[in-house]
Structure 1
């Protein structure tokens, strides 16, 4: 998401209750303050519809692959094929977002995703879907997403002033959670009465709804991140608009705080965020629980994520230091969770673990989307998509190997110590560098 450069003027009329209120000399930290902007409210509604449609489709997607191929391996392959463009083409997709008008890019990419969903629905309805077509559709979806992801993220931030960006990101996180619940619940009903193709058709309609809303969105006063007007205007481009994707990568690599953010997030993603795997094995293994017990743990994690999103929405200017501190705190909680003697103790620990993780995610996303200059934000998100896809693909096998060697408890404890140790070492090195800088100046 892009960050505006100045706060929008306060307008008492039309505000949501409790959102956007300011007292003299005191900054506004209301969790829902981003929703005082009309365009942000419409954008959140569009995202809710889109997320519900996407999760409706995802709920039946694996089942569809199994029905078509009869192979669990093919199901995993389809997911990898869809993720591959993010790894290989993420930077180019981000460069396209920086070069093209943002609203047009978001609307066109949403319409393209709708076309893919409708095509899949038609092929399913007429029984013309086979493995080759499935893989092609998965690859096309992944390719479109390399442009759609950063375009929609940055467009959302154009709708609020700078200090409200954390609130906008946190609201987006909550919208994602609600959409996931609604879409998953609706999938069973839709498939039971209308068939698998209906889930894809519904997702296509959700994409079209977003595409229809985009043209009516208005950036917040002072927003300077969107390149829409400049990109659409005739005449020569400014020098910075001609920057290549490679120069965007170079900017990322030369920016220590972005490299540090990538390191912290990558370690956390590999060793600290795969709770669906580590906690499932811990609950059903050493703690002697069943599927119902893990369901309870998953529910507590979800509740903690929502609580964390509400708290994170009160942030105004998060930093990489805050992200590192939260990552280390979450890692230490993970260590203790790995040593839990009972399910009751684990349940007490997973709530703050989820809260810390959610706040850290919002803080990190805010830094990532607001730190680069406006004309480079798409490319920075493109770099991020590539590296996050890499650790997303490599993380589960590495964690699985660690669990084979050390067990569920050992994986949680070792992973937590690795994260906390790396963050601590980074803080020490940074402190030494800052101390040495004046002496060498």
Structure 2
């Protein structure tokens, strides 16, 4: 494990300056021929009702993204930038820090904010490879930019990937991030305030015919290590298509920053050797999709990679809103049914999920410290409006309930959520 403090900004600035001078010296040609400029508007409405009514909140906000991506410059690099803005339309209750930053009074929100969300250089030094340096979105099995608010979260660092036949390998290192509901760029840290100098990782994906597999290792410096593998097989069955999947994931304490209170959902544990595995089957027939999944947790598997991170959960049993369902000793079952109304109402899909977690225990003391059961219903309705290019509508509803004796940190109070998204994208 690396121990030295590593900050990326001087490296990025030096590389950017060198590339800019190189481009100027060769009198860049065709910089606008393949450029892409797109505007994305997202109107978002959240309404959350809790068992503790004083915690209820609602927010109606408007998000905007202006995304620019250049064509290839001098045959080996590109540049890109994104500008994000969010404006509050109407908020009530304890909505601070959710879609918008907290305001000057308890529970309220700021009127809005704007920021540079992405600013990066992409390098293609070798065929079938890419390196991206700067402020950027990311998406891997264990770390991804959240897209559930008005704008996405983004990271500062270096990412790279290389494709070789059916294999793709990738890696990343980040030293700062900007949350999905704030305009600040900040270093990583634990809930206790201990520094995490950088988050890094590497992985591989494999796709060939009916088979697919992913493996990844992630390290939050001096705090947490996570790794896992999953695979799937797809084939035809009874006039439809079936997909069988399985995976296993681990989390481990990895330094002095991991201690009691470093994550508010961990029952004050000061060490971790977490494990969870899952099995999943999904069958699609004409307009219908049926699915069932099972997951079993040993010692608690930690979803959040640092404070404020709402985690990238690779399990099919994950909740779309709310708790992780990865508590110590928890057994999880899920049933799903989906409808695709293509040919009736093109672009309309409805997916319904019921998930139940049983026999969760306090992560530190076991059943003596607390036990809990939890479950949720979720309905996800999406409509890509064929009559208006670029317009997408979504309504997500979740109803979460728990029954807790003693204390199990990852289990929450009962909660009902409505989330509505109106997305419109326009490419210039």
The TM-score, its normalising length taken from structure 2, stands at 0.23
The answer to which structure has the higher helix fraction is 1
The TM-score, its normalising length taken from structure 1, stands at 0.22
